[in-house]
Amino acid sequence: MAMQAPADEALIGRIARGDRLAMQVLFARHHVRIYRFVLRLLRDEMAAEDVIGEVFLDVWRQASRFEGRSAVSTWLIAIARFKALSLLRKRREDGLDDETAESIEEPSDDPEQALAKLDKGEKLRKCLAGLSREHREVIDLVYYHEKSVEEVAQIIGIPQNTVKTRMFYARKKLGELCRMAGIDRGWP
Amino acid sequence: MTVSDVPRDPAQNLEPGEIEALLPWYAAGTLRRRDRQRVEEALRRNPDLARHVDLVREELAETIHLNETLGAPAPLIADRLMAAIDAETNAARKRAPGAAVGWLTGFFANLAPRTLAVAASFAVLAIALQAFMIVDIFTKPQSAPQQTALGGAHRHGSFAMVRFAQAASAAEITNFLHNYQAALVDGPTEGGLYRVRIAMKTLAKEELGKIVARMRHESVVASAEPAEAAEGVEPAESAVPPAEPAEPTAPGK
């Protein structure tokens, strides 16, 4: 993670000078992870694709403003999060309930019966998918995007202690969902 | 004693649960050294906490699994992005001269003949000064900041130096990297070369040569040469694994 930073920053410098190829390399390197982060927030594949297009267009426009105070990947996720949440706000204002518009990770007709057929890993993943947006966001940032306490605080815009507390309660909630799904993990 | 009852450590003034709150970052390997040491110390004293770390690792593994099954966006979006960038750049180019001409026309139309003559003298002087500066820039040796980029990360594995074709699109480059399970790790150099990691392990010279020869036949590749692993350039970082793995395969895409 730390070793990647200089190369990413060099790319941003080149993008700021209008280098298209540097833009393509940065995109190739990060777009899948950014897409997955946005998709987990929006649960809408087409909207997630639109958002990452906007994210990288913003990078093209604002590369000269990047000051290197955070890792490039952290900056990208922060931009993506802002855009995804703006879209969700707009949907709410337009009267569209984003949670009901979900196209993935939906349980089948009889959730209890379906859960019983799954192995432990699958059940755990179902429970992870069933967390609130706030909780799955912090879990993804820590476990999948490998962000430190400081970086998560930067991305979400909350104090570091709140990050730790939110992660703790996200895990606690996950434990409760697991127990309901028939997995006794012994915690909480 | 349950894992949530981690005893207070008077020397470090830890609240019960404070160490627990750090476990996700401990398992992910993203804790600061000082915090990592605190967790390791607590783990030595409390076996229940070690069992809790196992739970965290289980969550971590399933979170990664869940995310990696989400697939990838359509390759088309890369081309859409570059088209938007091109359109924006072209529009900016078109706007700039037009705006400047319009401003200059208005400016000169408002000037009196005597003022215009004085302004013309200053303009001649400014052009001469710019010409002198341009000659100066081209005759001085240029610094090469890009060259330093290759001295840094990603020195374990097998590598090639690749120059992509001018016409190669982002989607084509992404597909190329995906097909070879390769990753761009550095570049471009001054000559437009990119360092591409072909394998995480060191391949035999002959095997590396075969892969690179195959790459040369790809339409997105203008040139490709095997590259030496740069072990020992910066020994302080040599223990750190490569940070940018090739993107995982997107199922169903």
Residue B226: CATH number of its domain: 3.30.70
Return the closest-CA partner of residue A1 out of B170, B194, B28: B28
Residues of B in contact with A60 (CB under 8 A): 85, 88
CB B164 within 8 A of CB B220: yes
Q: Do B62 and A4 touch (CB under 8 A)?
A: no
Shared-domain flag, residues A94 and A16: yes
Average pLDDT over residues B204-233: 82
Rg (CA), chain B: 29
pLDDT class of B17 with cuts at 50, 70, 90: confident
* Model pLDDT, residue B103: 47
Number of domains in chain A: 2
Average pLDDT over residues B150-156: 47
What is the rounded distance in angstroms from the CA atom of residue B85 to the CA atom of residue B245? 27
Q: Nearest-CA distance from B120 to chain A in Å?
A: 33
Shared-domain flag, residues B7 and B86: no
Which among B77, B176, B247 is the top mutation candidate for probing chain A, defined by the most A β-carbons within 10 Å of its own β-carbon?
B77
Domain closes at, from A67, A84, A104: A104
- The answer, yes or no, to whether residue B15 has pLDDT greater than 80, is no
Q: Which residue of A has its CA nearest to B247?
A: A32
Average pLDDT over residues B174-178: 81
Q: Nearest-CA distance from A129 to chain B in Å?
A: 8
pLDDT class of B243 with cuts at 50, 70, 90: very low
Shared-domain flag, residues B163 and B219: yes
* Model pLDDT, residue B90: 84
- The answer, yes or no, to whether residue B143 has pLDDT greater than 70, is no
Return the closest-CA partner of residue B192 out of B158, B148, B162, B212: B162
Shared-domain flag, residues A96 and A149: no
Shared-domain flag, residues A59 and A36: yes
Average pLDDT over residues B157-176: 82
Q: Nearest-CA distance from A53 to chain B in Å?
A: 6
Residues of B in contact with A169 (CB under 8 A): none
The pLDDT profile of chain A, 188 residues, written as one tens digit per residue, is 444 444 899 999 999 999 999 999 999 999 999 999 999 999 999 999 999 999 999 999 999 999 898 999 999 999 999 999 999 999 888 776 555 444 444 444 566 666 666 788 899 999 999 999 999 999 999 999 999 999 999 999 999 999 999 999 999 999 999 999 888 887 77
Shared-domain flag, residues A3 and A64: yes
Shared-domain flag, residues A90 and A151: no
Domain closes at, from A70, A104, A138: A104
User: Which CATH number do you get for residue A131?
Assistant: 1.10.10.10
Residues of B in contact with A57 (CB under 8 A): 81, 84-85, 88
Shared-domain flag, residues A150 and A65: no
Shared-domain flag, residues B228 and B171: yes
pLDDT class of B173 with cuts at 50, 70, 90: confident
Shared-domain flag, residues A148 and A73: no
Per-residue model confidence as pLDDT tens digits over B72-122: 999 889 999 999 999 888 887 776 655 544 444 444 444 444 445 555 555
Q: Nearest-CA distance from A58 to chain B in Å?
A: 10
- Predicted-assembly ipTM surpassing the 0.90 threshold: no
Number of domains in chain B: 3
Tokens standing for residue A46: 């087409």
Q: Do A57 and B187 touch (CB under 8 A)?
A: no
Note down the domain range covering B82.
74-111
Residues of A in contact with B252 (CB under 8 A): none
Note down the domain range covering A71.
1-104
Per-residue model confidence as pLDDT tens digits over B29-46: 999 999 999 999 999 999
User: Which CATH number do you get for residue A85?
Assistant: 1.10.1740.10
Using DSSP's 3-state secondary structure scheme, residue A56 falls into: helix
Shared-domain flag, residues A85 and A124: no
Domain closes at, from A53, A86, A104: A104
